[in-house]
């Protein structure tokens, strides 16, 4: 009975901006891991709900985002990200170092400003996923 109660609660209570912010904060400042049910709420259905017999797959058909603006503010302590397409909805991002290790990841909405002053000096790569689109950028921290 409790699984059915929790499924009903999940279906009636979508992930809020507050929960996303808390998930990002816990990842960044506390545990360095994320709650997958905040990032991928559809997982609940694949594990306990109506899609248990289906295989969950993240979207792999990725197109290129056109007309993407990605700039470093003059203060050199943050990055400002804005894309001219798919203006609605959440985006997932991953910042990787030169060795390809994920340094930071999370979810955000447009426009968004990334704090980079706490990153060590070096070259970084940023991947931003929106629906079936991918935006790739690189930046230096000096």
pLDDT in tens, 39-63: 788 888 888 988 888 877 665 444 5
Determine the pLDDT at residue 112.
67
Q: How far apart are CA 23 and CA 28, in angstroms?
A: 9
Peptide bond into 111 cis (omega under 30): yes
Mean pLDDT, the chain, integer: 75
Question: Do the beta carbons of residue 38 and residue 26 sit within 8 Å?
Answer: no
The answer to whether the pTM exceeds 0.85 is no
Q: Taking 70 as the threshold, does the pLDDT of residue 82 lie above it?
A: no
Going by pLDDT thresholds of 50, 70 and 90, the confidence category of residue 5 is: very high
Question: Do the beta carbons of residue 97 and residue 124 sit within 8 Å?
Answer: yes
pLDDT (tens digit per residue) in 105-130:
888 776 666 777 778 888 888 888 77
Q: How open is the CA angle 69-75-78, to the nearest 5 degrees? A: 50
Q: Taking 70 as the threshold, does the pLDDT of residue 31 lie above it?
A: yes
Q: Taking 80 as the threshold, does the pLDDT of residue 16 lie above it?
A: yes
Q: Taking 60 as the threshold, does the pLDDT of residue 132 lie above it?
A: yes
Which range among 9-18, 21-30, 67-76, 112-121 shows the weakest confidence by mean pLDDT? 67-76
Q: Which domains does the chain have, with CATH numbers?
A: 2-47 (no CATH), 63-141 (2.60.40.3080)
């Amino acid at each position: 009975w409790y699984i059915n109660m929790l499924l009903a609660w999940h279906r009636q209570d979508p992930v809020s901006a507050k929960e996303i912010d808390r998930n990002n904060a816990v990842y960044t400042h506390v545990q360095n891991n994320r709650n997958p049910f905040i990032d991928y709420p559809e997982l609940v259905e694949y594990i306990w709900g109506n899609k248990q017999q289906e295989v969950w797959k993240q979207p792999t058909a990725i197109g290129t985002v056109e007309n993407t603006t990605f700039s470093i503010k003059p203060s050199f302590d943050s990055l400002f990200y804005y894309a001219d397409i798919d203006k609605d909805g959440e985006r997932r991002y991953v910042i990787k170092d030169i060795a390809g290790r994920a340094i930071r990841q999370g979810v955000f909405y447009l426009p968004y400003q990334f704090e980079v002053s706490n990153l060590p000096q070096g070259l970084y790569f940023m991947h931003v996923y929106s629906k079936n689109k991918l935006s790739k950028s690189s930046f230096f921290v000096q």
